[in-house]
Structures are given as structure tokens and as C-alpha cells.
Amino acid sequence: MGSFSGPIQHIALLFAMEGEARPLLETLSLAEQTNKPGSQYGIRYFEGTLKKLKVTVALNGQDPHHNVDNIGTESAALAAHCLIEAYQPHLVVSAGTAGGFVHHGTKIADIFLSQEHVVRHDHRIAIPGFDTYGQGRFPVLTLNHLPNLLQAKTGIITTGNSLDATEMDLDVISELNAHVKEMEAAAIARVAQRNQTAFLAIKAITDFADSPENHDEFIQNYSAACTKLKDTLVSFLTFLSDGRSFEEL
């Protein structure tokens, strides 16, 4: 859970894509901040308060050469490092969209909370010691009441740097017993672990990683999933705003 105990007074949420964050930023009227660590890399920060809770949102920003959002593990790790260094939040959340799996009975716009640990399915290093290093198994916040409160599912979340999944990826994901596949959580969780900061991932399902149409599904379902993600995050932040402790989650 990290080294902090007591009421959660400051939460930081990291998003890879502005479209994922925009509904929350507008709902909470969070104000953009300037001259923060990592701004030179395009990382953007927004702040506000909700009763007793300070809320910080960080976006990975956009690649200046390709004019697209900085998705993937490299940008996520950089943003997490800059965010934690600047703010020292009590809890860091990797928030965004993700792929699910048809064989788990997952539905579009389902909300998943990280459970047990987050892993990496595409760091395949078949050398003793490096094999487990590659998977990561980074710790996540233990949850007791939050899944029911948010009407969310729980599962192991796995991270890779491709939207699709090869047959080998799918085999590894199955071995890892993962329910959600995305592109940032493990990178953020690793930085959080190094800083002894509590970590949680909250993901909304846009597509199915075990479907050949997952690229089209992502585009078709992105808006609906982002809206569901916003509603869930608002409920979560409202719950925390009364001065909740980690034990109450």
C-alpha cells in the first residue's frame, strides 16, 4: 500500500490519452498548471479539490513529430516519475481504456480495478531471473469494498506496447491469468513501487484483445468507454473526498 497511513488527502491520476481524461477534467473543472517537472516533454498537469481531497491529473502529452498522444510504457514511466517527484501523492492511479477478453465474459465499457498485481506480457526474457524480472508482478492496492461500491470487476492487468496481441502474447496472457490488456499500468506501477507510493489501475474496456476486429472495436467504443470511466472516477473521487483511509477501500 505504500508507506503512507491515514486519510487519503491527495490522489494523482495518470492518463495516456487526452480523450480519456477530458470528460473528468471538464466535470471537475480542474485547472491546468504550468512550469511543472516534465513540462518540457509535453506532460500536462491539472489540479483541483473535492471537499477534503486534492486531485491532480497528469497527461502524457502529445508527440511533437507525429501529433498523436504519447501512449505506451516509455511515456507512462516518464510521466509517473515526474508526477511523483513533483507532488508526492498518497495514491497514484493509472486510468484509461483497455482491452478485455471474450472468454472471460467481459463486456464493452466494463470497468476493471487492478487485483493482486500488474504484469507485462511482452517482456519475454528466457534467462533465469530475467524471466520473472520481465513479467514484473508489481504490487497494487488491496481492495475490499471498492469493487462493490463502483460496481466494477477486478482482475490482473497486463501491459504491452501494442494494441493487438500475437498468438504468443495471448499464450503468455493466459498463463498470467490476466483479464485486462493495456499499454501503461505496469510502467506506472513500477515507478510507484520504487517510490513506495500506493498504486491502483482503473480501466474501461473498449475492445477485445482476443478478437481480430479489436482495432475497429476500439474506435467504435472509445467514447462510450471514456464516459463510463469518467462516471466511475467521479464516484471514486467523491467517496475519497470524505477523508477515507486505505483500509476503507
Catalytic center residues = 20, 207
The number of CA neighbours under 13 Å toward the Cβ of 232 is: 30
Tell me phi and psi for residue 215, to 5 degrees. Answer: -65, -45
CA angle 136, 141, 146 (to 5 degrees): 135
Cα 217 off chain centre by: 20
Tell me phi and psi for residue 69, to 5 degrees. Answer: -60, 145
The alpha carbon dihedral of 140, 141, 145, 146 has a sign of negative
CB atoms within 10 A of CB 232: 21
What 3-state DSSP class applies to 58? Answer: strand
Q: Are strands 53-59 and 138-139 parallel, antiparallel or unpaired?
A: unpaired
Alpha-carbon Rg for the chain in angstroms: 17
Give the list of residues 6+ apart from residue 191 with CB closer than 8 angstroms, or none.
Answer: 77, 80, 81, 84
Cell numbers at 180, concatenated: 485486462
Orientation of helix 18-28 relative to helix 214-240, angle to 10°: 30
Cell numbers at 145, concatenated: 469494498
